[in-house]
Amino acid sequence: MSMSLSDDSSSSYGGEYKNLKQISRERLLHEMLRSAKTGDSKSTWKVLIMDKLTVKIMSHSCKMADITDEGVSLVEDIYKRRQPLPTMDAIYFIQPTRENVIMFLSDMSGRKPLYRKAFVFFSSPIARELVMEIKKDTLVLPRIGALREMNLEYFAIDSQGFITNNERALEELFGDEENNRKAVACLNVMATRIASVFASLREFPFVRFRAARSLDANTMTTFHDLIPTKLAAGVWDCLMKYKKSVPNFPQTETCELLIIDRTIDQIAPVIHEWTYDAMCRDLLNMEGNKYVHEIPGRNGGPPERKEVLLEDHDPIWLELRHAHIADASERLHEKMTNFISKNKAAQIQHGSRGSGEMSTRDLQKMVQALPQYSEQIDKLSLHVEIAGKVNSIIRETGLRELGQLEQDLVFGDAGMKDVIKFLTTKEDTSRENKLRLLMILAAIYPEKFEGEKGLNLMKVAKLTNDDAIAINNLRVLGGEPDAKKTSTSGFGLKFDMHKKKRAVRKNRAEEETWQLSRFYPIIEELIEKVSKNELSKEDYPCLNDPSPSFHGTPYAGSVTQNPPAHSIRSRRTPTWARPRGSDDGYSSDSVLKHSSSDFKKMGQRIFIFIVGGATRSELRICHKLTGKLKREVILGSSSIDDPAQFITKLKMLTTAQELSLDDLQI
């Protein structure tokens, strides 16, 4: 067995177009698990050994049944005591850490190894000295069937989304200025994992990043300002190594990567997003994609709890997840009525009410009465139940009115007075919702939260010290330690400070039928600019571009010393006419159109990476723009957060002592 540390070169991805999740799944199943079927072990079952991280990488891309189909009969944790299975082969899918290598060597060395042969796959590049350590062990060497770098160290959370699983990035990078050690370590991990996405997809990107905002001579740039710069340099270093080591890795640019951070848009993480997907995560207590619902017990017994996964395998979910909640509910009722009209027995059950509304209770009765249709009704009634739950929470909490105010604030149709009026008349609004409203206000009118003014607002809203910390940290995140005379939002919309009402978004009303869906995340404009090649070179420099302006900047040193030698031609992206009709990428037809035949005509991929957590609305925008721009847009981030998670993380930015809480006695 040759010990070359190589990627499996047999899988250059020709043929039909596959999305990020499909490619990740196929690499894990075929390139890794299937390749371990060597001559004499074709018929035997194997053990798969993983660590805490790789088991999650695996579970984001593959189901247990997929793994079993590839001949794995047992999945083990490398850190648990394991029974010796000396007649079986083992596949190790592990991070290339010293601890993991030591564990693997102790498994396979000595007179009685735990397994017959070991096929070892590392999730990211392994250090030379660790390879030497493995090669030094002459007993282990002949027992190794493969030693490879898979370069797949990210979670595919969606067909077009991945996270690097740096759950504490916000706190480690934007928190304590003094302790940069944690921050540098965090960025290194993030860079390695982002680069592994490009190794997996065999893509070499133009790397662009948001430059530090204050690069004039008088102001010092802080570590915070340079986060995208430093991350871009880290990703670039990894890519340069891949260019030399990964077979079939492209030598010229094939796609675009834009690196930004959470400071660019502080409203998206807290505003209410009104799509079915986002509402489920915001209002229901879901764990990841898991929804727990009660189904009527058998034969009149007590109700049973059942876990369901809301994910790509569910066609109804796929069709409705990005629809406005009202639209999703309407479409569900249509589907139900449709089912009933085509089905005699269902009509009898439905009674003589003709086309009257169906309640969840009616549906459950119907499932009990028509067991033979339970499959069809099950999926449908699940979604009718979920949408019903979401709608009743919206009604009970008066969320529509709050949502309207949030949108109006963002578009400059409401101001301070309207917020005060809302807080004083709608006193039963939940604390979290009032906090989110004030956070939106703070992102638009930071100066309203200075000193006394801030305290008064907090009093009116009846919020706590804890909430004050969240608002303060949002302002810190936006670089608002002192009142700036002219405030600028993340992408250069200048405000007139004297104006009573400020718009931080321009109206794109022609696209939206729902009042509550006017809001769009800033990345929508950025991605469109990337696609049209209209991003400012000053604000978003490109590392592939050996232009003189680049090396004159304070961060030239932190970027690779020798720019790439090959010439860079500016690539013209074809501008595709927007399809006629209202194909917004969300209707069920357009879901089907995303099949591989449609992707054949796709332009180059666009990757956008947000340091510090991404939102559901940002993921939705990537799906929407993929249809509109005819280019697959892939969102990456350190994590994906619903509003409550984001607020919790934001509160951890500062320690309580730093903010003298006496100033915040409310």
Give the number of other CB atoms < 10 A from CB of residue 232.
Answer: 28
* Cβ–Cβ under 8 Å, residues 644 and 470: no
Q: Distance between CA atoms of 120 and 5, rounded to whole angstroms?
A: 10
Q: Distance between CA atoms of 187 and 172, rounded to whole angstroms?
A: 9
Which one, of 322, 384, 285, 369, lies nearest residue 594 by Cα? 322
pLDDT of residue 422 exceeding 80, the answer is: yes
Residue 18: the pLDDT is 87
Q: Distance between CA atoms of 386 and 627, rounded to whole angstroms?
A: 27
Residues 216-272 pLDDT 10s: 566 677 888 899 999 999 999 999 999 999 988 999 999 999 999 999 999 999 999
Helix (H, G, I), strand (E, B) or coil at 518: coil
Helix H or strand E encompassing 120:
strand 118-122
Which one, of 446, 497, 401, 473, lies nearest residue 654 by Cα? 473
Buried b (16+ CB within 10 A) or exposed e, 604-625: bbbbbbbbbbbbbbbbbbbbbb
* Cβ–Cβ under 8 Å, residues 593 and 585: no
Residue 502: the pLDDT is 78
Which one, of 127, 50, 124, 125, lies nearest residue 94 by Cα? 50
Residue 516: the pLDDT is 73
The residues facing 158 across adjacent strands are 161
* Cβ–Cβ under 8 Å, residues 540 and 490: no
3-state secondary structure 64-102: HHHHHHCCEEEEEECCCCCCCECCCEEEEEECCCHHHHH
Give the number of other CB atoms < 10 A from CB of residue 480.
Answer: 18
Domain ranges of the chain: 20-153, 154-265+521-545+595-651, 291-349+358-397, 399-477
Each as own residue / partner, the long-range contacts of residues 305-312 (CB below 8 Å, 24 or more positions apart, any chain) are: 308/382, 310/277, 310/280, 310/286, 312/21, 312/158, 312/159
* Cβ–Cβ under 8 Å, residues 221 and 214: yes
pLDDT of residue 185 exceeding 50, the answer is: yes
pLDDT of residue 115 exceeding 90, the answer is: yes
Q: Which two tokens stand for residue 498?
A: 């004297």
* Cβ–Cβ under 8 Å, residues 603 and 527: no
Residue 578: the pLDDT is 27
Q: Distance between CA atoms of 317 and 332, rounded to whole angstroms?
A: 11
Helix (H, G, I), strand (E, B) or coil at 354: coil
Which one, of 101, 88, 105, 108, lies nearest residue 36 by Cα? 88
Residues 50-64 pLDDT 10s: 999 999 999 999 999
> Which band of pLDDT confidence, cut at 50, 70 and 90, is reported for residue 588?
very low
Q: Which residues contact residue 419 at a Cβ distance below 8 angstroms, ignoring those fewer than 6 apart? A: 405, 409, 437, 438, 441
Give the number of other CB atoms < 10 A from CB of residue 564.
Answer: 18
Q: Which residues contact residue 327 at a Cβ distance below 8 angstroms, ignoring those fewer than 6 apart? A: 514
Q: What string of DSSP letters covers 139-196?
A: TTGGGEEEEEE----SEEEETTEEE---TTHHHHHHS-SS-HHHHHHHHHHHHHHHHH
The residues facing 291 across adjacent strands are 308
Residue 40: the pLDDT is 53
Q: Distance between CA atoms of 45 and 47, rounded to whole angstroms?
A: 7
pLDDT of residue 17 exceeding 80, the answer is: no
* Cβ–Cβ under 8 Å, residues 274 and 322: no
Which one, of 369, 426, 371, 381, lies nearest residue 403 by Cα? 426
φ/ψ of residue 409, rounded to 5 = -60, -45
Q: Distance between CA atoms of 406 and 404, rounded to whole angstroms?
A: 5
Q: Distance between CA atoms of 200 and 218, rounded to whole angstroms?
A: 43
In the chain, what is the greatest distance between 2 CA atoms, to the nearest angstrom?
Answer: 81
Which one, of 601, 605, 593, lies nearest residue 634 by Cα? 605
Helix H or strand E encompassing 256:
strand 255-261
Residue 218: the pLDDT is 66
Query: Which position has the token pair 């065999």?
Result: 202
Q: Distance between CA atoms of 380 and 414, rounded to whole angstroms?
A: 39
Q: Distance between CA atoms of 523 and 573, rounded to whole angstroms?
A: 19
Total residues found in the chain within this entry: 666
> What value does the CA radius of gyration of the chain take, rounded to a whole number of Å?
27
Q: Fold match between 20-153 and 154-265+521-545+595-651?
A: yes
pLDDT of residue 34 exceeding 90, the answer is: no
CATH number, domain 291-349+358-397: 3.90.830.10
Q: What is the average pLDDT across 448-473? A: 89
User: Percent of the chain, pLDDT > 70?
Assistant: 76
pTM, rounded to two decimals: 0.84
Q: Distance between CA atoms of 607 and 584, rounded to whole angstroms?
A: 20
Give the CATH class of 20-153. alpha beta
Q: Which two tokens stand for residue 203?
A: 């893509």
Q: Which residues contact residue 621 at a Cβ distance below 8 angstroms, ignoring those fewer than 6 apart? A: 520, 521, 523, 524, 527, 633
* Cβ–Cβ under 8 Å, residues 209 and 258: yes
Residues 294-311 pLDDT 10s: 777 777 778 888 888 888
pLDDT of residue 429 exceeding 70, the answer is: yes
Interaxial angle between packed helices 227-245 and 180-201, expressed in degrees from 0 to 180 and rounded to the nearest 10: 40
CATH 2.60.40.420 assigned to 154-265+521-545+595-651: no
Q: Distance between CA atoms of 455 and 465, rounded to whole angstroms?
A: 10
Query: Which position has the token pair 């209707």?
Result: 587
Q: Which two tokens stand for residue 164?
A: 């690097």
For the ranges 340-344, 474-478, 610-614, the one whose mean pLDDT is highest: 610-614
pLDDT of residue 206 exceeding 50, the answer is: yes
Residues 500-538 pLDDT 10s: 677 888 876 555 566 677 889 999 999 999 999 999 999
Q: Which two tokens stand for residue 6?
A: 């190589």
